[in-house]
Amino acid sequence: MSPPPLLVADLGRRRYAEVLDLQRRLCRARQDDRDREDLLLLVEHNPVVTLGRGTKASSLPLSPEALRDRGVEVFEVERGGDVTFHGPGQLVGYPIFDLTRHRQDLHWYLRAVEEALIEALGSLGLEAGRREGLTGVWTGGRKIASIGIHVKQWVTFHGFALNVATDLDAFDLIVPCGIDGVTMTSVRRELGDVAPEDISVVVRRAVVAAFGRVFDRMPRSASPDEWNIPDSTGVQEGTTP
């Protein structure tokens, strides 16, 4: 018997507020209709700093106003974790999964997302792993992927940010994930001269395949009507501090 499908929607490059609102609508739709399939949104954002529920004042050396003056949007969101940066060259993934069809265990889910990214990087020739007591994915002592999730009625949203060809200088604007002294890296930096020209495409393909293996799903492209939930209120749900 074939595994259930994993619908994959590649949204291209979009503003954070737009996709945050979409995630919330998709989460509600999944709560209302448990027969909907698991969905993985893949996206690249314009420069934005997001503040999770665990954000410390010391993690944001610059004020939100100073960040906006530099062209970086700032959002307070419901996900767990501290502060993080999203920007061009980064693969951001938002799984809209119903954990009642997997395992109702948030620790297991976090470790599974990490495992999918570790497997994807391994398929590209990058040895990656975890650091005890911390959430995310590391390679050679450097952090390459951040994870922050939120779950409502066992439906997940928010997700991961994998640095593919990201301008790593942008992380100097914050204390990434609130970890003092952390060094951020990217797939391109780690692979160096052997990085393929179409690195974004290659990484997307590897991540999708790994999510399928780890969550026992068969990935396929989602049609627009499977992910584009209309906003019936016309109200944008993004919040800025």
Please identify every residue annotated as catalytic: 177
143-191-46-75 Cα dihedral, nearest 10 degrees? -10
27 strand-pairing partners: none
Task: Give dist(CA 43, CA 211) in Å, integer.
Answer: 16
Quick one: tokens of 203?
Answer: 């990484």
Task: Give dist(CA 10, CA 93) in Å, integer.
Answer: 9
Kindly report the number of other CB atoms within 10 A of residue 130's CB atom: 14
Which strand ranges, in their side-by-side order, compose the sheet holding 90-96?
A: 137-139, 142-152, 155-163, 90-96, 38-45, 5-14, 218-221
Quick one: tokens of 47?
Answer: 């420069």
